[in-house]
Structure 1
């Protein structure tokens, strides 16, 4: 069979491609030919159409060459061949010099811009906040720092992570939003390399925050980052305060040693487990925690007041019209809700809940107290509790431990989870710890199947805790939320079928799934990453608050409680909040707010009011609750 002849166009294209493959010299040659092919004919047309052009052909050709030379910057000199050749040679040398100079400048600028884009330049700031690591917590931390720095002129937050600088800036810009006066600076590189850490100028920073990554080995990297930070600060006199977080308490000692004497290390799993159990025992408590931890509302401050020296703590409770006193800091030890007869010394600092650090001003409040409407009887007695846990993860044993600590005889904890050797072993171990406690029972079943929940008398429980499974290796960290959302849908269907609301406490991993959860707006939702991020942001502004939060969120210490309002004032009576504060003082507690039953379903606070003015009057009902700091 005869072969098809190759067309002239294909052969010409192949020859052209082959010449280009020879490199830059061939490309320059083709560019020269192309320019001459355009410039020479155009110059000839210009010369021949010029009425003042020379009449002789040699003069016209010389004029064409001169115009071509000016256009292509080739000198354009006419005369003998040697003169023309030298003119072209000088023009080529000048062109080569200029081109090389432009290329060098362009290359240098490109490398500099690339380095800036990669975030490899050193930050020159003073008193800035350094955030090391990248996780879902970074958006909460940066957002809270921006809110805290809203009234400061020169504030900077530097984020260092092993990610693309542009991608970090875009993600922070999208999720955090406008940063106001705060300058947000991103640098790219591994946080475990001391040489890279120097890019953030940690020696001149006001505080350094170390975030755990959303991966199973996050705690080990936190320890390595703290060691790298210590190496980067070696030889420097100033060492900024360090706030870090680990998941597993087995890494806390190592992290504390690496962070140094002034470091603060939080156990995220332990704190999350404690707050979930507290919210399960008193629905709505998570809303109070959120109000106290974010910078959008009232938060904790340490203030000194010389005029209260020598007076009792009970007097201080009614000495701030627009702030709520909750304790003292004596030395480095916080004393939350100390006995009212405790004498305040000149060196003591008051722990107050206030709008800002400059809004805690003293003033008399006793004139608003109406003793006639206070209740002096015993508080509402506690009773055995029935708790249903749907799902199981690494924090579940910690929650069971918290439930056991204060459970009354006759309490029950039922766990529904997929049968597995590891889960069954953990449940058995949790049921055998710390001696007597609630009866712990494992019911095998898939919490995402309707028949599993239908065979349970869900409404007989005082609280229902919904947990997501730990992600398997290789799965994204937000994978557990998918099963949690399905379980919440099934619980919602049970509520609609029976017409009775369930006291559900939900643990989510991703804050974005909060809007997807099929629960009531005021329901308790604990988002561990956001919670720890809020804590770290608060402590970064005042590291002395670390001991305060440790006591507030401890299992057996003085914490935040929700009590029936009928334990403090007569239901149906209208009185000022100062009366509630005085009634709580008689019980050794510090009242800092309330939750209105009538507004529980309305946003954004869902009835929670923290730090109301002492003079604020309202009618108290049976369903209202008082937020206090005290012991059970």
Structure 2
């Protein structure tokens, strides 16, 4: 019994076999049975052992007595056999429900860890896998299997054919990792757990994958998120070339800054990052070898070329005269990779007569107001300093003077910004009136990460309502960007007519999903979110062409090219508050599409500022 169910079942089976052989031998030796055939005698003995009703048909005193003894022994032994078998099956089913069985799938996406970001990641992966055959996503987390499955069904209505397999275990435990078959997975996403020191768990998980004693020979494709920048070097040290590390705080800070400086930037980045709609692809078009990047900009009807990937790395918005070499890949935006493969030529030529040949005006000093302080305030200040023109000013408003001072100190030396603080309650109307909100060019509202998400977002919404009323009353447009912790509150924030809402977890989730499908996208995102090189700008479309009839997007691309910029889309101001219309953002429209270029419409370009 100490050897387990398998041994017990085996020994009970041997006992049944022994009883059958002995009974058949006795019946044959003493001629007590109805037959002298050994096989038939053994068969009759087996029936007596496993079925107590068989004895009712026995004849002859000797055979009846033998049958009674055999049946009595069979009841004991065979009942024990059935009992052990039933108990073993029940235990096995319970183990399966606990999520401890081995995963048999191969070429799957493996997610290690659990947080609220997982729902956005799964939703995006389901879209990315629509064209795949029998796609599978496997999740390993220290959470009950049934709870994980119920949460996924509740938050995601349609997985579009992607199969979700959940297993309970620790991502840093080598035996638990073996359960999810990490040796045969396609890519691995390591989530930052919701605990006091999440980066330690992430680094340990990467270490278990890359330095485990039974690791596979071919390299892994790992993408992981890190909360604190100081831990990135350690994460790369254990991950090496196999891991792409996403700086969670820095990424969100960069987007907050870009969204605060120009309305609609967040919607553009979400459109670039998600799988629903336009995506970023790499194409090795040999027909462009020896030709220039400027020619490639107008080469495709339904694709927007945005850069070049060479052996040296990724370049976004290179000079128009840059020659595309053999083996270089064009980086392009398209609704689907099949569109890029088809590579249809434009149906219209740019109207050169409408192109305005002028440079975009340089950035002027601006005043910014940051309301609220959290752990991302210091990176936001660093990014503001990098993007702002010399002589710019930023004011921090919050209830804790010392916390604001510490955030400024952590941000480091400010070469372009002067900083100051005002102590006050952000949700208090009189406090906001006293700081003269309409006098600022940009306002950033940061969430209080010391509170639960719903309560923090509720305070943010109250602050936004006051801000918009104050700016409307002064009849001055101030760009207001807000950070939200819960995606469900984004639509509520639109009631306040805020220019951009950044859902922190959503942005990081989208990036993790994209990089897990193509690790080269990490270089593209790093350039787009960085103050160095080219980034996204939304500029008045009316300044690129002479006024008149609507012009084709091909003409706008040509006009941007004249300024050393790459046009990738258009924003219709009339739909800026409509979520169903992607807040007016159209990325990679057909070159033949016509746009009015009037009012507050914007041309979306990649440019160096």
* TM score, norm. by length of structure 2: 0.85
Instruction: Show the counterpart of 1:220.
Output: 200
How far residue 83 of structure 1 moved from its aligned partner, in angstroms, is: 12
Shift of 1:450: 2.5
Does structure 1 conserve the Cα–Cα contact (< 8 Å) formed by 2:374 and 2:446? yes
Tell me the equivalent position of 1:35.
none
Q: 2:427 aligns with which of 448, 451, 460?
A: 448
Q: Within 2, Cα distance between the matches of 1:571 and 1:214?
A: 54
Asked whether the equivalents of residues 471 and 478 of structure 2 are also in contact (C-alpha less than 8 Å), the reply is yes
Match of 1:365 among 328, 337, 346: 346
Worse-superposed segment, 522-531 or 558-567: 522-531
Which of the pair has more CA radius of gyration? 1
Structure 2 CA distance, aligned partners of 1:179 and 1:425?
Answer: 44
Q: Which residue of 2 aligns with 1:281?
A: 261
Question: What's the CA shift for 1:487?
Answer: 2.3
| 2:320 equivalent in structure 1 | 340
Distance (Å, rounded) in 2 between the aligned partners of 1:247 and 1:175: 25
Alpha-carbon offset, residue 478 of structure 1: 5.8
Residue 573 of structure 2 is matched in structure 1 by 597
1:136–1:530: 8 Å Cα contact kept in structure 2? no
- CA–CA distance in structure 2, aligned partners of residues 591 and 369 of structure 1: 13
> Which of 540, 545, 565 is matched with 1:569 structurally?
545
- CA offsets, 1:260-315, max 9 Å, x none? 22211010100110110001001110000111110001011001101111111111
Q: Counterpart of 1:113 in 2: which secondary structure?
A: helix
Aligned to 1:508: 484
Paired residue for 1:322, among 289, 296, 302? 302
Return 96-105 or 235-244, whichever deviates more: 96-105
Question: Which of the residues 377, 380, 383 maps onto 2:358?
Answer: 377
Q: Does 1:439 align with 2:415?
A: no
CA contact (8 A) 2:569 2:585 kept: yes
Shift in alpha-carbon separation, 1:213–1:326, aligned structure 2, 3 A: same
Aligned length: 557
1:264 and 2:244 equivalent? yes
- Do the aligned residues in 2 keep the contact of 1:274 with 1:402 (CA within 8 Å)? yes
Output the CA distance in 2 between the equivalents of 1:485 and 1:599: 22
What is the aligned partner in structure 1 of residue 460 from structure 2?
A: 484
Residues 1:151 and 2:127 are matched in the alignment: no
Contact conserved, 1:417 with 1:443, CA < 8 A, in 2? yes
Does the 8 Å CA contact 1:203/1:239 hold for their aligned counterparts? no
SS in 2 for 1:358: helix
Deviating more after overlay: 342-351 vs 173-182:
173-182
Runs of 5+ consecutive residues of structure 2 not aligned to the other structure:
1-51
* Preserved contact between residue 132 and residue 209 of structure 1 (Cα < 8 Å): yes
Counterpart check, 1:205 vs 2:182: no
* C-alpha separation in 1, matches of 2:401 and 2:446: 16
Contact 2:385–2:414 under 8 Å retained in 1: no
**Contact (CA 8 Å) 2:480, 2:498: kept in 1 or not?**
no
Greater CA deviation, 604-613 or 494-503? 494-503
Judging changes above 3 Å, is the alpha-carbon distance between structure 1 residues 497 and 111 closer, same or farther for their aligned structure 2 residues? farther
In the superposition, relative to structure 1, how do residues 518 and 624 fare at CA in structure 2: closer, same or farther (>3 Å)? closer
Match of 1:193 in 2: 173
Distance 2:437 2:344 in 1: 50
Query: Is residue 230 of structure 1 aligned with residue 230 of structure 2?
Result: no
What is the DSSP-based 3-state SS (H/G/I as helix, E as strand, rest coil) of the residue aligned with 1:260?
A: helix
Alpha-carbon offset, residue 371 of structure 1? 1.0
Deviations 1:312-349 (A, max 9, x none): 11111111111000110011500111111111111100
Give 1:622's aligned residue.
599
Q: CA deviation at 1:97?
A: 4.0
Change (3 A) 1:494 1:96: farther
CA distance in 2, matches of 1:108, 1:485: 56
Alignment match of 1:551 (pick from 513, 524, 527): 527
More displaced 10-residue stretch of structure 1: 411-420 or 155-164: 411-420
Equivalents in 2 of 1:363, 1:402: separation in Å?
A: 39
2:291 to 295, 308, 311: 311
- Where 1:261 maps in the other structure, the secondary structure is helix
Distance 1:406 1:608 in 2: 23
1:469–1:520 CA distance, 2 compared to 1 (3 A)? closer
Aligned twin of 2:104: 124
How big is the shift at 1:457?
Answer: 1.2
In the alignment, structure 1 segments of 5+ residues that lack a partner are: 1-71
Tell whether the 8 Å contact from 2:566 to 2:607 is kept in structure 1 after alignment: yes
1:163 aligns with 2:143: yes
Taking a change above 3 Å as real, the CA distance of residues 294 and 515 of structure 1, as seen in their structure-2 partners, is same
Confirm or deny that 1:240 pairs with 2:220. Answer: yes
| 8 A contact 1:574–1:618 mirrored in 2 | yes
CA distance in 1, matches of 2:65, 2:478: 96
Query: Any conservation in 1 of the 2:303–2:334 contact (CA below 8 Å)?
Result: yes
Moved more, 611-620 or 403-412: 403-412
